[in-house]
Structure 1
Amino acid sequence: MTDGPLIVQSDKTILLEVAHPQADDARHALASFADLERAPEHMHSYRITPLGLWNARAAGHDAEHVVDTLLRFSRYPVPHPLLLDIAETMARYGRLRLEKDPTHGLVLRSDDELILEEVAHGKKVAALLGARVDPLTVVVHGPARGELKALLLQAGWPAEDLAGYVDGTAHLIALTDTVLTDTAGAETALTDTAVADSGDLTKESTTNTPTPWTLRPYQRQAVENFWAGGSGVVVLPCGAGKTIVGAAAMAASGTTVLILVTNTISARQWKAELLKRTTLTEHEIGEYSGALKELRPVTIATYQVLTTRRNGLFTHLDLLNDHDWGLLIYDEVHLLPAPIFRMTADLQARRRLGLTATLVREDGREGEVFALIGPKRYDAPWKDIEAQGHIAPADCVEVRVDLSRAERLAYATADDGGRYRMCATSPAKSVVAQALVASHPDEQILVIGQYLDQLEGLAAALQAPLITGSTSVKERQRLFDEFRQGRISVLVVSKVANFSLDLPEASVAIQVSGAFGSRQEEAQRLGRLMRPKADGRTARFYTVVARDTVDADFAAKRQRFLAEQGYAYRIMDAQELD
């Protein structure tokens, strides 16, 4: 027995003692293969899953790495059957391989005839396969590449995709004033005299005047890992420059690019960033959204327009599918809607880069991201990037309020469906939100919530503008610009501000309600504050929670992802604000 921070159990759960001197080292090592399940004050619990192990295997970690981590940090002997199971589970990855055969085209190969026989007898898999070439090889119907990978993952035999990628239409893209190692290992002919920060931009640029800057080491590593694997996901905290990683991948590709984003505001932020960071011009970048339908060498399309149906057909999806893209970039990949998964399955011959701050999906479709976009290629802990000074430190505070007697009675007699709304929109939260705004008179503040009537009341009480899904893109841009320029100090925003919104001046966020127990939403909302502040001050993230209700239960669930990243929530009573 040693004095390690981990307790490894035979049911594949792992307990981490938070206060242990080696806790941070153990947490970083666990992040490559284990999933956080609970994060209370003293003991965090993780679970080892097949998907986590296969992600580790695809990232280049073998079973020896996983076993060594457990043995090195475990306080008690690690159950031997668990070690065997880890080795056998990780050995499943790559036993089936998708390859290109010069005679037969796309084929599925195995080093074990019986494994191939097993999966080929599945009804859904069999429909995607053609003739048997030899005992270890079977032809795959070309368009079925993505669907087959998803089915094999479900069957417990994740295929390693070695079939390669089409080049796509060539289109020169270079980064301005930096050095990028390309896919062949050579350096581009760009200078490395950069001095500026390489986070994302804050305002739309109308010219292509180069600003000196450089790729940060972790951004360079993320791009190199992505190209080494061909396709996959890069996980970086909000404010760490995910768009820069996308731009660098585009420069390495040197082809036409399709970028998929969450909304029109995000599309225009991407365009501004590319104009600033690359040699691309206005005429080379097109927006494909509800407002514009421009197809250019680099096209930025919204998920919404691609999933719009007409007469039962995804007409825009098919239109973009017909173009010879060399690279697809999925911004906020954890939000991919189901039709985009279908599109991704059809585009398996193209290189695919997913960008996100968290791979958590509340619908449990992480497996589809793994199969159809690719495995996790790079993941940087938030606290590591904070320690380097590239994102702001954050103080997370949960402010607890009490329901009035009348509210408690109404809550007690409400059905399950109405309880959360009732406690989430308590008038007591509005009082607290106003007090918190008043306590930060010199800060740029976001007040964020889920329910429109609650937000409308807060906007009126605070005499602040309100941005919701019904606010026009033009009006949103105007208000965001005024907030960036300091002419507006408080914005009340709905969930439209959860994703892909760059407001570096925001230093305080007050969350009054959310999407039940959504961990990804919690991370994204904190992410609105993560741009480093000019004076180095700490960002403040307040969550107002109704005590002794499902609101408190959901808040605990929402905080799990951030707890894994090392953020602790201080608890304070609303009465302390008086």
Structure 2
Amino acid sequence: MPPKRKSASAAAAYDDDDFEAPDLDDYEEYEEAIEDVSDEEMGGRRKKSRSARQSAGGLEAPSDSEVPEANMDFSKMVLKPDHHARPLWINPENGYIVLEAFSPIAEQAQDFLVAIAEPVSRPTYIHEYRLTSYSLYAAVSVGLEIDNILSVLNRLSKTELPQSTIDHIRESTKSFGKVKLVLKHNRYFIESEEAGILQRLLKDSIIRDARVFPSASTAGDAATRFLEDKAPKRDFELPGTKKPAAPGAANGSNDAEAAAQDGNGTATAAATAAAAVQEEDVLGMLLAKDDDRDATDDVLVHSFEIQAAKVEGIKKQCADINFPMLEEYDFRNDTSTKNLEMNLKPTTQIRPYQEKALSKMFGNGRARSGIIVLPCGAGKTLVGITAACTIRKSTLVLCTSAVSVQQWKQQFLMWSDLKANQIACFTSEEKLWFQGESGIVISTYTMLANNRKRAHQTAEFMRRLQSMEWGFLLLDEVHVVPANMFRRVLTNIAAHTKLGLTATLVREDEKIGDLNFLIGPKLYEANWMDLSSQGHIARVQCAEVWCPMTPEFYRAYANAETRRKQVLYTMNPNKFQACQFLIKYHEARGDKIIVFSDNVYALKAYATKLNKLFIYGGLNHHERTLILSQFQHNPNCSTIFLSKVGDTSLDLPEATCLIQISSHYGSRRQEAQRLGRILRAKRRNDEGFNAFFYSLVSKDTEEMYYSNKRQQFLVDQGYAFKVITKLPGIEETADLSFTTQREQQELLATVLAADAAALEETDLALTKVRFERGGSGSAAASGGSSGGSNSSLVVTAQRRQGNMASLSGGDTMAYMATRNR
């Protein structure tokens, strides 16, 4: 068996305006646009992006071909005498930081590094991080001070902190965090602890003209005076915690810290320092000075009011003059927005990492806008609900599909004391407003992003959404927001604070950086491997199964056009047999199995041949719910086939095995999201791995190239993919399909004779308009195990490119003109 791989550090619109766009992978619009771009063109885009980031002052890692070999010689850097007790290596050339994860103080150092740097790769023993302008902006936004960052970095580094790194940090953050935009009593204030900075901002004509002077003072008198107030601090307890989750205090010995900083310390001093640091929270020590300051009453903040209508222009202007504003919401003093009486149920207890993530959002007593990154199955939904229970204002939740809308509603009812009539769902089938002056609305990005003419009931609901001032905007799967179709949602909705949740803060089009100004900085990112080892998410064994192409299929593959090649390597008889064998094996173990296929033609062919239920975009919400219910509760239904509709937001804690037969080219996000379907902690306590992820790949095809790209994100999170060239026991297994040459040739003939449009069909390639006619049964509608006919399927219309001959029914006719003599 080959060794494990190592780390390699549109939505369619509806014609019927009263229907929601497809309840499937709505946000794949951007992937459809970029996956067809050649590697050369993508390389050019990355070079342009790198140049732009370098011109902005960030240290960007150049490619291997751009780094002279001499620049990688760091032998002149002198190690500290106690370097073995310090876990960090810092590259002075590109801002990369390498953490020895086996160090006794690695856990504390990880918390610190996640706060100031972007995780690049985190396998078992060596972690890699990168200092960027965005990561430092995020660090400043949660209250970290530059001097403290440099102090702790030097304390943890094996060498003296490089001057280039010091200069980069100071240059990138000299004006970050100095100015805040605060909404108090529905009035906007620009706030700073330094009055001189406010005076400097007022020298700009755009900001000066937007200032609102107190009515009791003249403009001339107030021009040099500011409002003053005490610095905010968090004096409340997060719901679901036993005690306030304020940043940790420093309880360690000053002598031990001095010994750690002393480059001439002895081995004994080094050991003492390591022991002291091991008992302390490094990030807590970094924030200790801020905690001491908050405990005093003599720290004042200065502010002046600005016109609400000019807020967007001022935010842009402050960013242009290198004073980006942090957005905070003083929700406890907001008396204009109606409160929503909601709390977590007394039995609800959040986990330590969830508490840590929320403490970054509410660290100073206000709500900061930003993004929290947690693995699939780690409780992102509960984090969002806890944040809503803390703010206690009207909340708008946006997610990716109608199925996830219902799941969010169920989670609100499960974890909080809200009643069902306080939660409204805005989908194609539900448009009932909540009762009372405040409440929760849950909808999809597509419903709000649609700017076409709407039905009356839908238009009226949208009018109420847009006219309301929301206290909290919660964005699930926030990585979809930069897509051109969905980013307009943020301009249509007025919200005081925004929180984005995702497991995969990655996009193939490099628009992920836009979230820094669309939503806010990244507040927290968890380590997947740590949560797995602690039992919060499942322990997954990942494997890539190589399936040789049969001679007939490979000959057809070599001569086929690009679009047909994907179907040929997906319908490879050896891949079919491997899938069938794995299903039999894991069903015998008592596992619940999900089989993913992007290609709908292959999805239907596999499921029909194996007599299994399947879900794709052609099924309505009711049919999907019935099939998912069968999978969750029926012991005789152990396997379902899913298309892209199952990539995100499906809550299937019973699933323990995932088999992937077809995917969306080289999408790293999709690979991680699909793994997330089996990441929820398992009820049974198996030794070692308790979940399995198989990716079936046809050998010697372009699928192998895409597979390698897809795995990069998961490999960087610490997962290792075993390569299986031959499944043990498959040759002795009886009743496998397509074992004879005749069967394989018949299958090939069927694939080659199939309509080209049907072969290329995916859930996003066609627009489906549902006509609600007749009944629907889950098994019959899906070609499932009941063996029923498909007569009960909901009638669907498919939009395809055609011509006038097709529209007039003349596909099989020919026109010939003759001359009459």
- Normalising TM by the smaller chain, what interval? 0.7 to 0.9
Instruction: Give distance in 1, aligned partners of 2:597 and 2:448.
Output: 27
- Report the alpha carbon displacement of residue 32 of structure 1 after superposing the two structures with TM: 3.1
Find the counterpart in structure 1 of residue 279 from structure 2. Answer: none
Contact 2:445 2:489 in 1 (8 A): no
Residues 464 and 349 of structure 1: CA distance in aligned 2, closer, same or farther (over 3 Å): closer
Matched-pair contact (CA < 8 Å) for 1:348–1:372: no
Q: Is the 8 A contact 2:660 2:695 kept in 1?
A: yes
1:12 aligned residue: 94
1:274-296 deviations in whole A, cap 9, x for unaligned?
A: 22222211211111101111221
Q: Aligned runs of 1:98-177 on 2, under 5 Å?
A: 98-99=181-182, 105-107=188-190, 111=196, 116=201, 130-131=209-210, 142-143=308-309, 145=311, 149=315, 157-162=323-328, 164=330, 166=334, 168-177=337-346
Question: 3-state SS of the aligned residue for 1:433?
Answer: helix
SS in 2 for 1:440: helix
Shift of 1:453: 1.1
Q: Runs of 5+ in structure 2 lacking a partner? A: 1-78, 213-222, 227-302, 731-821
Q: Among the aligned pairs, what percent are the same residue? A: 30
Given the alignment of the two structures, is residue 464 of structure 1 paired with residue 602 of structure 2, yes or no?
no
- Does residue 302 (structure 1) correspond to residue 444 (structure 2)? The answer is yes
- Tell which deviates more after alignment, 150-159 or 385-394: 150-159
In the TM superposition, residue 143 of structure 1 has moved relative to its aligned partner by 4.5
Per mean C-alpha deviation after superposition, the further-off stretch among 445-454 and 307-316 is 307-316
3-state secondary structure, aligned to 1:220: helix
Residue correspondence of structure 1 range 283-298 to structure 2 within 5 A: 283-296=421-434, 297-298=439-440
> C-alpha root-mean-square deviation of aligned residues, in Å?
3.8
Which of 477, 487, 505 is the equivalent residue of 1:332? 477
CA deviations on 1:99-118 (whole Å, 9 max, x unpaired) are: 56999955588955898599
Task: Specify the alignment match of 1:505 in structure 2.
Answer: 654
Shift of 1:531: 1.9
CA contact under 8 A between 2:140 and 2:177: conserved in structure 1? no
Q: 2:718 aligns with which of 566, 573, 577?
A: 566
Q: TM-score, normalised by structure 1?
A: 0.80
For 1:417 and 1:36, the matched residues in 2 are separated by 36
Post-superposition offset of 1:89 = 0.9
Give the distance between the partners of 1:399 and 1:18, measured in 2 at CA. 32
Q: Where do residues 27-46 of structure 1 align in structure 2 (5 Å cutoff)?
A: 29-37=112-120, 46=129
What is the aligned partner in structure 2 of residue 60 from structure 1? 143
Separation (CA, whole Å) in 1 of partners of 2:526 and 2:501: 12
AA aligned opposite 2:703: D
Query: Counterparts of 1:103 and 1:500 in 2: how far apart (Å)?
Result: 34
Q: Deviations over 1:458-505 (max 9, x none)?
A: 212321111011211001111111111134100100111111111111
Q: Does residue 279 of structure 1 match 2:279?
A: no
Q: What is the TM-score with the length of structure 2 in the denominator? A: 0.58
Residue pairs, 1:155-554, within 5 angstroms: 157-162=323-328, 164=330, 166=334, 168-177=337-346, 194=347, 213-228=348-363, 230=367, 231-296=369-434, 297-311=439-453, 315=459, 317-336=462-481, 337-338=483-484, 340-345=486-491, 347=493, 349-405=495-551, 423=569, 426-441=572-587, 442-485=590-633, 486-537=635-686, 538-554=690-706
Could you say which residue in structure 2 is the equivalent of 1:201? none
Q: Could you say what secondary structure the match of 1:325 adopts?
A: strand
* Preserved CA contact (<8 Å) 1:424 1:551: no
Query: CA separation in 1, counterparts of 2:380 and 2:608?
Result: 36
Whole-Å Cα distance in 2 between the matches of residues 423 and 66 of structure 1? 52
Give the structure 2 partner of residue 188 of structure 1.
Answer: none
- Structure 1 residue 265, shift from structure 2 partner: 1.1
How far apart are residue 41 of structure 1 and its match?
Answer: 9.8
Change (3 A) 1:445 1:107: same
Q: Go from structure 1 to structure 2 and tell me whether the alpha carbon gap of 1:270 and 1:104 turns closer, same or farther (over 3 Å shift).
A: closer
The structure-2 alpha-carbon separation of the partners of 1:23 and 1:410, relative to structure 1 and needing over 3 Å to count, comes to farther
CA distance in 1, matches of 2:694, 2:370: 34
When residues 436 and 21 of structure 1 are mapped into structure 2, their CA distance, relative to the original with a 3 A threshold, is farther
- Matched to 1:389, the amino acid is G
User: Aligned to 1:570, what secondary structure does the other structure show?
Assistant: strand
Q: Which amino acid is 1:366 matched to?
A: I
Which stretch has the larger CA shift, 141-150 or 346-355? 141-150
Q: CA deviation at 1:373?
A: 2.3
Following superposition, the deviation at residue 426 of structure 1 comes to 4.0
Deviates more, 1:341-350 or 1:562-571: 341-350
Alpha carbons of structure 1 residues 449 and 322: separation in structure 2 relative to 1, 3 Å: same
1:95/1:157 contact within 8 Å kept: yes
Describe the shift of the 1:276–1:312 C-alpha distance in structure 2 as closer, same or farther (beyond 3 A).
closer
- Counterpart residue identity of residue 334, structure 1: H
- State the alpha-carbon separation in 2 of the partners of residues 141 and 342 from structure 1: 23
Does the Cα contact within 8 Å between 2:549 and 2:572 map onto a contact in 1?
yes
C-alpha deviations, 1:131-164, integer Å up to 9, x for none? 4786999986625545764676588653222574
The 3-state SS of whatever aligns with 2:470 is: coil
Deviations 1:252-303 (A, max 9, x none): 2222221112111111112122222222112111111011112212211122
Deviation at 1:227, TM superposition (A): 2.8
Deviation by residue 1:64-88 (Cα, 9 ceiling, x = unmatched): 5654665566666664213311222
Aligned residues: 538
Counterpart CA distance in 2 for 1:101 and 1:275 is: 30
Aligned-residue offset at 1:366: 3.0
Change (3 A) 1:354 1:15: closer
- Which amino acid letter does the alignment assign opposite residue 428 of structure 2? G
Q: Secondary structure at the match of 1:31?
A: helix
Q: Structure 1 residues 310-319 or 550-559, which shifts more?
A: 310-319
Cα deviation for residue 97 of structure 1 reads 3.7
Name the aligned partner's letter for residue 417 of structure 2. Answer: T
Tell me the distance in 2 between the aligned counterparts of 1:548 and 1:152.
54
Distance 2:431 2:612 in 1: 34
Kindly provide the amino acid, as one letter, of the partner of residue 140 in structure 2: R
1:255 aligns to what SS in structure 2?
A: coil
Q: Secondary structure at the match of 2:542?
A: strand
> Helix, strand or coil for the counterpart of 1:299?
strand
CA distance in 2, matches of 1:342, 1:46: 32
C-alpha spacing 1:507/1:84, structure 2 compared with 1 (3 Å) = same
Alpha-carbon spacing, 1:411–1:112, altered in 2? closer, same or farther (3 Å):
farther
Moved more, 385-394 or 331-340: 331-340
- Tell me how far 1:413 sits from its aligned partner: 6.2
Cα distance, 1:385 vs. partner? 2.4
| Pair 1:318–1:155, CA change in 2 (3 A) | farther
Residues 89/448 of structure 1: CA separation in 2 closer, same or farther (3 Å cut):
same
Give the gaps of 5 or more residues in structure 1: 178-193, 195-212
- Determine if contact 2:598/2:662 at 8 Å carries over to the other structure: yes
Q: Verify the 8 A CA contact 2:405 2:425 in the aligned structure 1.
A: yes
Q: CA deviation at 1:395?
A: 1.2
Q: What one-letter code is carried by the residue in structure 1 that aligns with 2:388?
A: M
Rounded to whole Å, the distance in 2 between the matches of 1:352 and 1:526 is 27
- Distance change in 2, residues 1:356/1:416 (3 Å): same
For the Cα contact (< 8 Å) 1:306–1:317, is it kept in 2? yes
Structure ranking higher on relative contact order (CA contacts 8 Å, 6+ apart): 2
**In structure 2, how many angstroms separate the alpha carbons of the residues matched to 1:129 and 1:411?**
67
Q: Distance in 1 between matches of 2:100 and 2:559?
A: 39
SS in 2 for 1:341: coil
C-alpha separation between the residues in 2 aligned to 1:540 and 1:144? 53
Preserved contact between residue 137 and residue 177 of structure 2 (Cα < 8 Å): no
Which whole-Å deviations, capped at 9, do the CAs of 1:193-240 have from their partners, x for residues lacking one? x4xxxxxxxxxxxxxxxxxx4232333333343233512222222222
